[in-house]
Structure 1
Amino acid sequence: MMRTNIVIDDALIEEAMKLSNLKTKKEVVNLALKEFVQTRKRKNLKDLKGKIEFADDYDYKKMRKSL
């Protein structure tokens, strides 16, 4: 964990707390950071679309069954 002091828009944090039903600013900031990271990771995966070639014998349905 890293302790830090930051200036946050009061109206924005209040709106985020209402929308999320979270009780503390810390919870809201942590959730926002998690969602930001998840969104960026998904975006990066979308950038790979059409750039990956699968083996001719690749069977995604068979792979799903083994999970």
Structure 2
Amino acid sequence: MRTNIVIDENLIKEALKLSGLKTKKEVVNLALKEFVENRKRKNLLELKGKIKFDVDYDYKKMRESK
């Protein structure tokens, strides 16, 4: 999808330098990908302490059945 946006030029230059990427498009795509991955990870952390595990679950036995 083609989109025109105004981006802080200093931020782009720094991102290009840090990432080693060659184009602004690559930097923006990487930034969006990392943003999405980080948000998904954060959402998983919100589940901490909310999931009840079966104390009798035997993961070793499940491995043997394969």
Per-residue deviation, residues 3-60 of structure 1 (Å, max 9, x unmatched): 1111000000000000000000000000000000010011000000000001122234
Mapped to 2, the partners of 1:7 and 1:18 lie a distance apart of: 19
Instruction: Give me the TM-score of the superposition, normalised by structure 2.
Output: 0.86
Instruction: Give me the TM-score of the superposition, normalised by structure 1.
Output: 0.85
The corresponding residue for 1:30 is 29
Aligned length: 65
- Could you say which structure has the larger radius of gyration? 2
> One-letter code of the match for 1:14?
K
Q: Following superposition of structure 1 onto structure 2, how do residues 52-67 of structure 1 map, counting pairs within 5 Å?
A: 52-60=51-59, 62=60, 65=63
Long gaps (5+) in structure 2: none
Gap change, CA 1:14 and 1:48, over 3 Å in 2: same
Runs of 4+ in 1 over 2 A off after TM superposition: 62-67
Long gaps (5+) in structure 1: none
Identity %, equivalent residues: 74
